Structure formats: C-alpha cells, structure tokens
Structure 1
Amino acid sequence: MKHLLLILIATIIPSAIIFAQSTTISGIVIDEPSGQPIPYATIAIMSPTTNKILAGTTSKDDGSFNVTTDSSAFIIEVRFIGFITKKIETFDIIDGKINLGKILLSNTEHSLDQVQVTAEKSSVEFKLDKRVFNVGSDLTSSGMGAMDLLNNVPSVNVDIEGIISLRGNSGVQILINGKPSVLSDEGSNALGTISADMIESIEVITNPSAKYEAEGSAGIINIILKKEDKKAFNGSISLNTGYPNNHSIGVSLNQRTEKFNLFAQLGAGYRTRPTIRKTENINHITGSEIYGLGEESKSENFYNVILGTDIYLNDFNTITVSGNYMYEIEDEPTITTFSLENEGYLLSQYTRTGATSATNPKYQFDVQYAKQFKNHKDHNLLFSTTGNFFGKKQTSEYINENTLGFSAPDNQRIETDFYQSNYAFKLDYTNPITKKITIETGGIYELNNVGNEYSVLDQSSDVWALNTNLSNDFNFDQKVLGLYGTASYEAEKWGVKAGLRFENTDVQTLLATTNESNSMNYTNLFPSAHVSYKISKQYSLQAGYSKRIYRPRMWDLNPFFNIQNTYSVRKGNPELMPEFADSYEITGIFIKEKISLNASVYFLHTVDVIERVSFFEDDINTVTPTNIGTRDQLGIELNAKYSPNKWLTLSGDFNYGYFNRVGTFEDQVFDFNGDKWSSKLTAKIKLPADIEVELSGNQESRYATVQGVNSGFVYGNIGLRKKLWKGKGVINASVQDVFASRIRESIVDQPDYYLYNYGQRGRFFTIGFSYSFGKGEAMTYSGKRR
C-alpha cells in the first residue's frame, strides 16, 4: 500500500525537475490596428516535424508572456480568436533565451467571416461508434426546448406525449454531457428546462461501444451542453416572447483567466402548452359508449441557474466544479365533457373540471478531476462524481358536475409527494500506447433512489375519504456497478475497436402501505465491436455490433394511477423486467465538396420487449407496461446534405423499418408483422442583408401496435434570422407546426372493446432578440420546454 501511494503521488503531481537544458521564450502580443496589448492569446511551442505541442502558455493582461521548453528544435505559433495566426520559425537564442519583442497580430474580416460561417452550419461528424450532429444555429430551433430540438435530429422522433424514439424504438438512454441526469428523466419532464441555444451538439449512438453504459436497448442520445471558455470576459443576454405564452429572459456569462474559467447561465420565464384531447371507450359486449372531449393548458413559471468553474492547476491537471438549480411552479387547469351512451342513445353527460398545482425543485452537482499525461494529449485520466435531485409536491382536484341524466361520479383529489435522487462515481482512463493503438478502461457505480407517496381521495356528502385501492407509498432503489475495457486500432485506411462491459444490477421496489416488495439482481456481459474502412477520401464503410439493456424506469414500475380521465387510466408495473437487444449495423459514407450521403442497413433483435398494453374492464381502459415476447427489426436509413451554391443548403433523412413481433400474454397471441417509416427535409436559404430562412418538413407513417394502430402525420416549421452589428445582435423568429397538423391518434380494436385516443398541441409562434458583449457572437437562451 505504501508503494502504491508513492506511485499515485508521482503520477498525479507533475514533476518540477528539469533534466535537460531549457530555453525561455518571451514577448508581447499586440493588436496591430490599435496598438493595444492582447491578453490571453495562446502561445504554442510546436515540433516542426509532427506539429505536436511541446509547451504552451497564454499572454497576461499586458500582452506579455514567458514560456520554457526543453526541446532543441521547435517553432512558435501565436493565436487569438478573430486574428490571423502568426507562425515564427526563425529566431536567435542568446544564453538560453529568446526575446521576440512585440508580436503584431492583424484582425482580418475575411478570417472572422470564415469562423462565423463554420459556426452557423449544422454539420455531421462520423466517428467509429457514433454520429455527432452539431446544432450550430438552426433557425427552426429558435425558441425550442431540447425535446423540440431532438425532433430535428436524424433518426430521432418525439411524439406528442414526449416519448423519445430512435429509429422507431423507444428504449433510448438520454445522457447530458455523457452522464445520466434528472434533466433527461422522462417522468420528471425536465428536459424542457434546457433550451436549444444551450446545446452544443447531439450525439446519436445506435451501436455504443463498451465504454458507454449498456442502458438503452435502442441506443444512446447524448446531449452536449455549451460551456463558454473564450478568453477574457464574455457574455450575452436574450429576450424571447411567443404565442401561446412563451416568455423568457436568459443571461450567459464567462470569465477566463490563466488559472480559472468561470461560467454561468441564468434563465427565467413563463410558458403554457394547451392541448386538445378526445377519447372513445366502446364496449362491444354491453353496447355502452363513453366519449370524452377536453382541453388542458399546462402553465409553468421556471427559474434556472447554472454555475461552474474550471480550475487549471497546471498544464496537465484540471478540476471542474459545476452546479445546476431549477425551480418550477406548475398550474394545469383541465376541463373534459364525458358523454355516456348505449346503442347510440345519450344517457348521461357531465363535465370534469380539474385544477393541478405543483412545485418542482431540481438540482445537480458535478465534480470532475482530469489529468492529461505529458507524453500525449489523449493520454488522460478522468474521475467524476455527479449527484442530482428532483422533487415534486403536487395536488390535483377534480370536480364533476352533472349536465344531463343520472348523477355524476364522486369528486376526487390526488396528493403526491415525490422525490428522486441519483449519484454516480465514474473513473475513465485512456492511453494511446502507440500512434495506432489505444486502450480504454474504467468503471462506474450508480445509486438511484425514488419515493412516491400518493393518496387518492373520493368526496361523498362533502367528506373526503381515502381510496385505499388507489393510494400507496412506492419506494424504488437501484444500484448498478459497471466495469469496461476497450482496445482500438486505427491505421490510415482501417479502424477496429472491440470491448467488453460487465454490469451488475440490484433493484428493490416496495409498496409500503400494502407491504408488497419485489427484488431483482442480475449480472450481464455486454460486448461491442466496430470496424471502419476508408476506400478513398470520399468513400468509407463502417460496421458495428453491440448488446444493450433497457431497465424499467421508475415511471414504468410505479403503480401510481393517473386519473385525470377516469375512463383512461395509466399505471406502472412493479414486476416489469428489463428488455435486452442485439444491434447490428453497416453504414456507407460518401462525402464530396457539395454533397454528403450516408446509408445504413441495421438489424435489431429485442427480447422481453416492453409494450404498453390496454386492459379493459367496467368500461375503463387501464394502460400498463408489460413484457411481451420478441421483436426483430430490419431497417434502412438514408441521410443526405447538398449545397449547390453558397445561398442554399438542402438536407434530408429517411428511415424505414420492417418488424416481426412474436409473443403471447394471458392467452392472447400478439404475433404480427408491420413496418414504420419517417422522413425529414430541410432547406436553408441565405438572403441579402444577413437574413436567413429555414423551412423544414417532417412526416411519420401509420404503424401497427400489439393491440391496434397509431396514426401518421405531416407537419412543418419555419425559421428566420437577421444578424445585426456583425453578429453581436441576432433577431430570431420561428413558427412550429405551421398547419397545426401534428396530431397523434391511436386505436385499439379488440373483439370485446374499441378504444380511440386523440391529441393535438397546435401551432406555436416565437420571436427573440439576443445581444453579446465581449468576444464572439450572441448566444441566445430561450428556456423553452416541451
């Protein structure tokens, strides 16, 4: 142990001993047009043969710098954003010192324009095990939340209920900056607190390597948030308004020095999401028919604060500390008219008026230590610990008022006290042992704890009585231990990566009121393999395989009843098992100057598939997730981008999947075949006077489910942007769902009953203005959510 401690200290603490004769380089960096010093310019000492960085520093407030190198052969580069990089290859060494004097950097509009154009384009990067979609400044994303933005990403779809699917499969793991988060939890509805303008890129990983957690049978979507780290002081402020109500203000601040990088984002706003719903429950045995027509309008006041700092201990050791606090105040009025008929004759009618209020505190912290080893910039050790919490105190009251026929049902009230806390401890080590071979290893330990105490009360004769059949106290504890190792070989044409991941899962659920418990403990191995071959500069091929798991989420397991509509109830299933998937994929990539195209053929085999199944009894439809059989899906996906000239860019995405379902549940056979497809087309047009327009259209097909069918739909978005003062100011405007055609309909047609559900959100208008100060362009913040 003593020897191990000495080795760790020797690894983490950089050596201060210099064994070779060193050379000290000094100078002052000056802005040539103004003659003023440039603070925080980057000075890099580089190898003249490999361009590898040998040493480096940044200039001080007065533009001066000093840097030392042990190398005998080197060149010097001086860089700063918006200025032409200066390369110095000839100099005099006197007594081990080089004095460069004043180094003049010129500011060129041409180079600045190039930076702006690159930053504005949403481009795709193809890596060995993932695709990276750089959000850039998509015009139709103006005023969007993260949920809306995901709908613009190829391969990804978000339905009107907020269910995210990848290539038509809903078993998706959502990560924030590579880590699980309460912000990405479906049930917490928290992704909406992230605006599109806060997102740097979105990684779509259909075949993750063993380095990633095995969670997500359909794959992983990793949302990378922006973290401003420009030199000196920077910031931006933005204002947004929209209809229906979507009003917000956001501030982004950043201060970078030689030893610290401080960053902050502040946001507040108010928004509403009106929705129209229709339901039909028809009992073929008794002839009874129940029709529901209602409106709901969820309103939220929200506040969001992100604070963090990077502490540069030296050139090779960095500590990052960040925190995020959010607070929401919800108000959701609803009104639904229920009509009860038999054989087409109206028997009774009543209205159910609901009032829901809730407060939602959420917070998250992240502490990270990163060590970069001297021998290679990609040789690093990363340790991080993350903790987050989400709470909800909610009260709902439903008043039934009879308008025709016999009396209405009793009034009802729901009281909910919910909390969710997650903690993760993660260690990752990467070592490029040669120019072609890299190894990765590490592990993670996660602890998830959830509690939901809910009470349903019925009112009878002005007295509220607890409904013991619907009330309970649900507790959920999950612990996951994961260990992994990968090795990759990347040559000029060939690339190979293989890995293996071990995960042990321990789950405990408890219904405390009725003392019903359930335990699961399982250990699994998850292999992965990826191969790439570069045929030429324009053509390349990739192939991948991975084994994945989708663990039931708290909202799948929690038997809490949602009784907003007493004839269409949702509840969880505490006995739900995880689903497992084997994913295979081959992708061809073609990239030329004006066009890029990639085509993928994939096969996904999933067992113990989680399906949402309807159970119909006493004219009430109860939807519960259930494990049913296997699904085999064979699909093809096409993505293309074409820029015929400087003012027009066209991009499109098409995904088609044919699936075969085999399964039996409670003597009912669910064997059937079907297909599902989706397509997206976007046109981005540059107009004079720094005006840009973006038009996008989306279409999803009708597809079969285990009990019925879901409808297809077509909808379009329009976005416009005008840049002011060379990008310091930006005006954005967008219309989402221009024709109010994004309507979701689902039908369950069984021998004994028929169910119909309809949902529509309608069109949304947003306009915003942002202004930046310091270096760079405006970074807008809209605070939009789904």
Structure 2
Amino acid sequence: MRPTGIILLFLWVTAATVCSQSVRMDVHNEPLNKVLSRLQLELSFDDRTLSEYNISVSKSFENPESALLWLLEDKPFRVERIKNVYVIIPCDNQKKNPADRVFGNIEVRPFSFKGTVVSQTTGEPLEYAIVSLLDADSIPIATGFTTDKGQFAIKTSRVPASIKIGSLGYRTRYENIRDVDGNLGVIHLNDCMIPLGEVVVAAEKTSKEIHHTTYVITPQMLRGVHDALELSDKIPGIYFDQSSNSVWLNHHANILLLVDGVPYSETYLRHLSPDRIEAIEVIHAVSGRFVSDDYAGIIQFVLKKNYTGYDLHASNAVWMNLSKTAENCRLPENHPSLGFIYTTHRLNFFGMYEYDREKSNYHATKSLTYDRYKLVSHSVAHPAHRYRYDNHTVNGGINYHLAPSQILGMQSDYTRGSTKTLQEYTMRRTDLSNNYDRSFTSETENLIQAHTFTGSLFYKGQFANRLHVYADFSYNYYDNDMKNEYHQGGEDVYRYSDLWNEYKKQTGLNFEGKYSLSHNMSIEAGYSNLYRRYASKSSQGIGFLNYIENRNRASVYFSRLFSDKTRLRAGVAFEHIYSHNGITGKHTTRILPYVWMNVKITSKGSLIAGYTANSLYPSLYQLSPMSIVVDTFLTQIGNPDVTSAVRHHGFMEISLGDKLKLMPQVVFINDGISEVYDRKAYKLYRTFNQIDFREYSLNVSYNQSFGRYFRLKSTLTFYHQDALYEANRNSVNGWMIYSDGNFYHPDWAAGIQFGYYRNMKKNILWQGYYMSGKDFWSITARKELWNHRISVMLSYIPPIEFGVRNDRIKYLDTPLYKERTTTDLSSYHPTLLLKVGLRFDHGTRKEPVENKTIKMLHKPER
C-alpha cells in the first residue's frame, strides 16, 4: 500500500495544472467594508464611510486587485498604493465656494492643518489612518493619510468646519475645527470590533475564524524579538520558555508547530526571521490529518506572501551556574546554531545546524519499601543524579512554486545524539522482621546513542479560490543502542550489564482537500495512512520485539457561518488500526467525532465551545520487552500487549475582549497507558498497562498593554487529575502560572522583563505521581545593536525562595512497593543565561503593481 500511495502522490503533483490566484465572491446585500476585508490584500480605509454602501455580487475575478477595482467602480473613492498597502481615500470636493474671495490673480492663502493620530489604548502612532477635512455639510474638501509616525499635514483653500479621522479597527472620530490654519495636536482613536463575516478583526489585529484564532503581527509585536519562537511569546496563552528553549500553549508542551500548513521543526523556527511572519494562528483542538497525534494544540506561523530575500543567522545560548554547589557544572547548557534561508519568487531553500549540550548534577535522596525491607539513602557529598546530553541536528529543505498558488516541497532532518545518566546512592537496608541494618552502594548507569532521520515531500495547491488541496509523504527512521549497567557493592556484590538495539521505521501518507461551497460554507475531507514497525534485541539474544502497526483513517468536516455572531464546524474521522506484536494480531475500528462552535455574545465578548476525540498510541519504550535494571529491587520492562487509546477533550473559551480569556477543559482518556508495578517470580517489575485518566483544568490568561512601552502577560492554570484502574482511584491537583511584565523602548532598542514562572507540575500515575518542570523567578535585559543585527539577552535567575519549590518528587505507594525520590534543584539558583544572536537579512515583498496610484481607466467588465 505504501508504494501505491507514493505513486498516487507523484501522479497528483504531476497532473496539477498551473492557475492564477483568482478570487471568487458570493455576497448578497453586505456592507462594502466587510466585503473588502475578505480580499487577501493589505487595506486601509475608513470603516464607517465604506459601510454606507451595500454590495451584491456573484462573480470570479482574475486577482484580488481586479476585485478591488470592480467593487469601487462608480463610487467616490480613489486608491493609492503605499508600499504594499492599498489606501482607500474619499474623493475631495474642491469646487469653488462663492464665499471664497479672489483679489486679481492672487487667491487667498491655503489653510494648513497638521496633527498626529495614535491609539487610545497603546499610544502607538497609527499608520495609513484616513484624515478628511469636511465642510459644513460634512462633505470632504481635502483628504490625506498618516505616515508611519502617525503624522498628517493637509492643505486646503476652503475653510473646513470639522475633521474626520478613521482607521481599520478603530472608531471613526469627528472633531469640530475652531482654530483655522493650526496644529490639531494628538488625536486618539478608540478600539472597536468590526464584524467581517467569516472573521472578526479587532484593534489588536486579532481575528477569530471558525476553528482557530489569528493574531496579525504588528510593528509593536516585533519589538525586542529575534526569531519566530520569541515572537510567539507575544501571543496570549503562548509562553516561550527560555530555560528549556521550548514553546508552551496553556501550560502544555506537546504542541505542533506549522508554517503555512506544513510541519516544521523548532530548529527551523529558531532561525526564521520575525519580519517574514504575517500572522500567528492558534488552534486548541486538532482535526484532519493531525487527529491521531497527541497534540494539545497547534501554533501556525503564516508567512508574508510575495516575499523575496535572504536570512543568515547565528546564535548561541549559554547557561552559567553561579551556585557555590555547582561542582564541575558551571556551564550546564550550551546551544550554538547556524542557519540560512533564501527566498526568490519561485524558490525557497534553507539549511540549519544546531548543537545542544546539557549537563546536570543533582543531589537526591531516596527511600524504598519492598516486601519486608526498607531502604533509605545516606546524605553524600557528591550529587546522586548525573546527566549528560549531546545532540547534533542538521536540517534542510527546498520549496518550489509551480504556480503562484501551488507549492511542491521537500525537507529532511538528521539527528545524532547521546544521553548518559548515572545514579549513585549509599543505601541503608533494614529488615523489618528483625531490624537488622546494613549498608551498601547502588550505582545505575545508562548510555543511549541514537540516530534519527526524517524526510518528507509535500504539495499544496489552490484552484479557482475554492479548492485547496494538500498531500504529503514522510519517512522516519530511528536507531538506538542502549547500554544498561548496575553495580551493587557491599556484603552482597552484584553486577548486571546488557546491550540493546532497537529501531523504528515509519511511513506516512496524507491527502486533504477543502472546497468552499460559498463564502460562508465549506467542506473538508482527507485520507491518511501510517505504517510503523518497532523492533528490539538484546546482546544476550533475548527480549526480541517485532511490532507492526498500520493505521488507515478517513475524515470529513463541514464548516458553516450562520451569521456574524455564530459559526460552526463539525465532522468525524473513521479510523482502522491493525497491530501485531509478533505473536498475535488485533483489528480496532474507531469513530472520532469533532464539533466546534463560536458565538459572539457582545461587541467584545465571545464564547467558543468544542469537543474532539483523537487516538494515542504506545511508544517504543512502552512496548519493548528489554529489561532495564533500575535499582536493587526494581527492573523496568515494556509490555507488547498494550494498545492504542482514545483521548476525549471538551473545552470552552470565554473571551472578554482580547485581554482576558477563561478556558475550562476536561480530558478523559479511556484505556490510556501508564506505568504499574507487578511482581513476577521473585522480581519486582515496573511495566505498563491500560488505565483510565481524567483531567479537569481552568486556564485564565490576561494580556494588557500600558502605554507604548509596558506590557503585562499572565496565564494561570488550575488542574485536577484522576487515575482509575481495577476499582482503585488516585488523585492529584495543583496550579501553575507564568507571569511577566515587559518594558521595551524602541528608541533605545532595549528593554527589561521581570517574571515569575511556577512551571513544576504533578503528573499522575495510577499508584502515585511524578513532578516535572521548574519554578523560578527571572530578570531579563535585552539590547539590540548594529541596526538590530545583533541581539543580546541576559537573564538572571535569582536565589529567591518565595514561591519556588526546589524539591522535585516522585512518589509511589503500591501494595508491593513504596518509593519517594526527591531531587534537589536549589543548586541551580542562581543561574545566568546569556543569549547572543547575529542576523544578516534583506527582504522585500513583490509589488504586483508598479504605479503607486491605481487609476481606474480600464474598468473590469461586469
């Protein structure tokens, strides 16, 4: 089936025809401002003035510009093109007024008016705002627009009675003119919400489509950021963790990153210039070809169209441990990287290299109870947990535009890395039956050397502005050699050593299409196939795994815009899974429903509610029967009999403007996979089995700008988790928060940030829990140098104890076995992070029209 899928993909790409980016419009009696906002053009206009004209049209146009000319035909407006922005300006009424006096050949001097237009909320200057001088009958006698600094200067030979200022996303303002020929000063415009049919654009340039929220990147958002991942931190609910160099969405790290609908690695986004990004989309519920992957959400970066240019980027992030107890670990992390991106009208290719080195030495204590024995670790001078990670990543790809609306691309990643862990304890063992004590040493060392290759080929196309198609084929290979050694010293000397090899081969095939039935209705359908094989073998010739899994999935979704206030997207995916663990095979069929509704309650409030179901699949380490000795009692072994599970996710998002959002969620996983403890013969094993999980959470995010330079951003999460297995129930709860205040002055090209991050979370197990993440305070200073080519960021994590949990705990309480392991993180406070980036880039957006002023001399046919 896989060769057939490859052939079909190439036939599809080969048979694709070249077509222009045509535009289809089907509207009935809708205001002109709403219709214009559907065009894929950057526009600036006075919303109130254009809303007075209603439009009815059912017609295809050669391109968006032709549609713009047709819509403005026979209307009192002219269009001027400034860079890539189409400014729609009312035509002036400069007819002579009889009251105007002329002395000979000398006319009275013209009147001059100037001022500055800014946002009432942020104080930012508004570019391309429309400024009109009106006579006593409110008829424009002179019109202009503001510069990039929000300034305007207009001259007229007539005495105006008032002035009107309008800008997309702001309330139109009228002011009477009392002093002629003067400075009108600073004029503030208030935010407003403008309904746009399928989208709603706010003053912060935020739009909410049927199943995702789009944030248009503004010049203010680009301040103080050096790459795409740092830019994502400007979005409400998204947090870029500098300590782990990863992106979180509402405190979830399992996030899929897309660029124009195609999956890309974090390596690529760490080198992508923020100047290339048009918007960022946030999707909380996955569907389509991603429905069977365990993603808590999707972050998509939408690139600017018609962009050509290059990026050369180098960076390095170094962690420096300033603690007195660092012990040969002064530089725990080092992340140098280098990359380039080159884009022409038809071609885009890129290449990156990244090296990651992490090293940690933690003090830890451990207590165990098994059968009649109790073990407690002694305090030792040297760290008990040592960790070393080295990783090399090479990433590259090329995209080719077969036509303006068709792309064929390929990309690949190769990773080679090694991980070494060492746990050393001096244990005191007590026989509870006779209180006999003795001491021994326990040392467990694991060495993993892994190679990973991923390659993909994709095609994207758009036909007649109605049909969008996507197809990809991917191949993934993973090979891992693992060495496990255990040494017990003392009276009973015991040694164990084994070598394992395991690998994974995986292919994926996706077809997906979306067809717009009308401007407010569309249908999507897709097919996916994923084949994977897991295998492992010990050097002793035992524990052989040969696991095969083949998934076939078909999906269909329907989207409907009922009104400006109500939107609905619903669908279903049908999935068939065949798995074989080397002994027995199993067929599983599932139905995965999906529904999403968006209701606009008020001009600033909205409600989104949704439910989705997706599948989760066992990982290699959960399936592999290889034995890994953990300590003197415990051995870990996989379970090749575990199967996939279904994750049910229900949520609501209540938005009070774009500043405050509340998101209650519930997640239920039926027959999820968790570690359990079982005794076989005389050994205690940590293995895996199917149990039920539930999680209830509430996310509260707040995002507020104060003036031009200061911004406050916070996300607070409360959670409660349950695990149920064999009529037993375990529960944990907690809360997390990341909150920071950011001050950045563009004239200084410098800023400072102060934040508190409570990121340590309890993760439930059937018989206990384990904690992950870190808590810390942070003070960060940033400075851009050499015309923003160099970015220097210095973060300091102070040794503040308030609100910081330094003990990372794993706790187990089972009838057979009890464990409490506490890892002390205080040795990493204080810490200093120095991140330096150097970027040489140049880019422009292609101008489809050479003239800055569009003259309607040749009007399109009706």
> Given the two structures, how large is their TM-score scaled by the length of structure 1?
0.71
Alignment of 1:119-518 (within 5 A): 127-130=209-212, 154=237, 205-210=283-288, 212-216=290-294, 219-222=295-298, 224=300, 230-243=307-320, 244-283=331-370, 285-289=371-375, 291=377, 295-332=384-421, 334-343=423-432, 346-352=437-443, 354=445, 356-376=446-466, 379-400=467-488, 402=489, 404=490, 406-410=491-495, 412-455=496-539, 466=540, 471-490=542-561, 491-510=563-582, 517-518=583-584
Whether 1:638 aligns to 2:700 is yes
Q: 1:314 Cα deviation (Å)?
A: 2.0
The aligned counterpart of 1:101 is none
The aligned counterpart of 1:533 is 599
Q: Deviations over 1:182-226 (max 9, x none)?
A: 97xxxxxxx8x788566989976553345642343xx53336579
Q: Deviations over 1:272-306 (max 9, x none)?
A: 233444322123x5244253876343334433222
In the aligned structure 2, how far is the partner of 1:145 from the partner of 1:557? Answer: 34
In the aligned structure 2, how far is the partner of 1:8 from the partner of 1:143? Answer: 35
Gap regions ≥5 residues in structure 2: 1-7, 23-39, 92-144, 151-203, 321-330, 845-862
In the aligned structure 2, how far is the partner of 1:624 from the partner of 1:141? Answer: 45
Q: 1:434 Cα deviation (Å)?
A: 0.7
Q: Deviations over 1:634-681 (max 9, x none)?
A: 4433222122333322222223344555431xxxx4135554433332
Q: Is the 8 A contact 2:654 2:661 kept in 1?
A: yes
Q: Deviations over 1:613-653 (max 9, x none)?
A: 2336899753222213x445444332221223333222222
Q: Is the 8 A contact 1:584 1:603 kept in 2?
A: yes
Pair 1:742–1:574, CA change in 2 (3 A): farther
The aligned counterpart of 2:834 is 767
Pair 1:318–1:367, CA change in 2 (3 A): same
Whether 1:663 aligns to 2:725 is yes
The aligned counterpart of 1:746 is 810
In the aligned structure 2, how far is the partner of 1:558 from the partner of 1:123? Answer: 49
AA of the residue aligned to 1:574: P
Alignment of 1:629-708 (within 5 A): 630-658=692-720, 662-664=724-726, 669-671=727-729, 675-686=733-744, 689-694=748-753, 695-698=755-758, 705-708=765-768
Pair 1:345–1:526, CA change in 2 (3 A): same
Q: Give the 3-state SS of the residue equivalent to 1:575 in structure 2.
A: coil
Given candidates 761, 781, 785, the residue that maps to 1:724 is 785
Q: Give the 3-state SS of the residue equivalent to 2:787 in structure 1.
A: helix
- Percent sequence identity over aligned pairs: 13
Q: Is the 8 A contact 2:314 2:838 kept in 1?
A: yes
In the aligned structure 1, how far is the partner of 2:685 from the partner of 2:215? Answer: 39
Q: Deviations over 1:316-359 (max 9, x none)?
A: 322112222222244555544344333566413225263x5544
Q: Give the 3-state SS of the residue equivalent to 1:540 in structure 2.
A: strand
In the aligned structure 1, how far is the partner of 2:238 from the partner of 2:310? Answer: 38
Q: Deviations over 1:518-547 (max 9, x none)?
A: 422111111111111112331111111222
AA of the residue aligned to 2:458: Q
Q: 1:682 Cα deviation (Å)?
A: 2.3
Pair 1:395–1:138, CA change in 2 (3 A): farther
Q: 1:750 Cα deviation (Å)?
A: 4.2
AA of the residue aligned to 1:683: G
AA of the residue aligned to 1:655: T
Q: 1:239 Cα deviation (Å)?
A: 3.0
The aligned counterpart of 2:665 is 602
Q: Deviations over 1:381-429 (max 9, x none)?
A: 11111112222233344454x3x5x13212x223122222221111111
AA of the residue aligned to 1:625: F
Q: Between 309-318 and 632-641, report the one with greater CA deviation.
A: 632-641
The aligned counterpart of 2:676 is 613
In the aligned structure 2, how far is the partner of 1:373 from the partner of 1:540? Answer: 33
The aligned counterpart of 1:576 is 642
Q: Deviations over 1:493-517 (max 9, x none)?
A: 110111111111111223xxxxxx2
In the aligned structure 2, how far is the partner of 1:153 from the partner of 1:641? Answer: 6
Pair 1:391–1:178, CA change in 2 (3 A): farther
AA of the residue aligned to 2:621: W
Pair 1:429–1:708, CA change in 2 (3 A): closer
Q: Give the 3-state SS of the residue equivalent to 2:18 in structure 1.
A: coil
Q: Between 161-170 and 490-499, report the one with greater CA deviation.
A: 161-170
Q: Is the 8 A contact 2:444 2:629 kept in 1?
A: no
AA of the residue aligned to 1:446: L
In the aligned structure 2, how far is the partner of 1:734 from the partner of 1:714? Answer: 15
Q: Deviations over 1:412-451 (max 9, x none)?
A: 2231222222211111111122110011111111111222
Pair 1:715–1:9, CA change in 2 (3 A): closer
Q: Give the 3-state SS of the residue equivalent to 1:646 in structure 2.
A: coil
Q: 1:175 Cα deviation (Å)?
A: 6.5
Q: Deviations over 1:152-174 (max 9, x none)?
A: 9959999x99999998999x685
The aligned counterpart of 1:27 is none
Larger Rg: 2
In the aligned structure 1, how far is the partner of 2:345 from the partner of 2:228? Answer: 35
Higher relative contact order (CA 8 A, sep 6+): 1
> Given the two structures, how large is their TM-score scaled by the length of structure 2?
0.65
The aligned counterpart of 1:187 is none
In the aligned structure 2, how far is the partner of 1:497 from the partner of 1:54? Answer: 30
Q: 1:144 Cα deviation (Å)?
A: 13
Q: 1:266 Cα deviation (Å)?
A: 2.4
Q: Is the 8 A contact 1:556 1:625 kept in 2?
A: yes
AA of the residue aligned to 1:476: Y
In the aligned structure 2, how far is the partner of 1:572 from the partner of 1:586? Answer: 37
AA of the residue aligned to 2:752: V
AA of the residue aligned to 1:496: L
> What is the number of equivalent residue pairs in this alignment?
665
AA of the residue aligned to 2:677: S
Alignment of 1:30-109 (within 5 A): 54-55=62-63
Q: Deviations over 1:223-263 (max 9, x none)?
A: 65798984233322223333334333322222222221222
Q: Between 199-208 and 694-703, report the one with greater CA deviation.
A: 199-208
Gap regions ≥5 residues in structure 1: 19-41, 58-66, 91-105, 112-121, 184-190, 456-465, 511-516, 778-786
Q: 1:589 Cα deviation (Å)?
A: 0.8
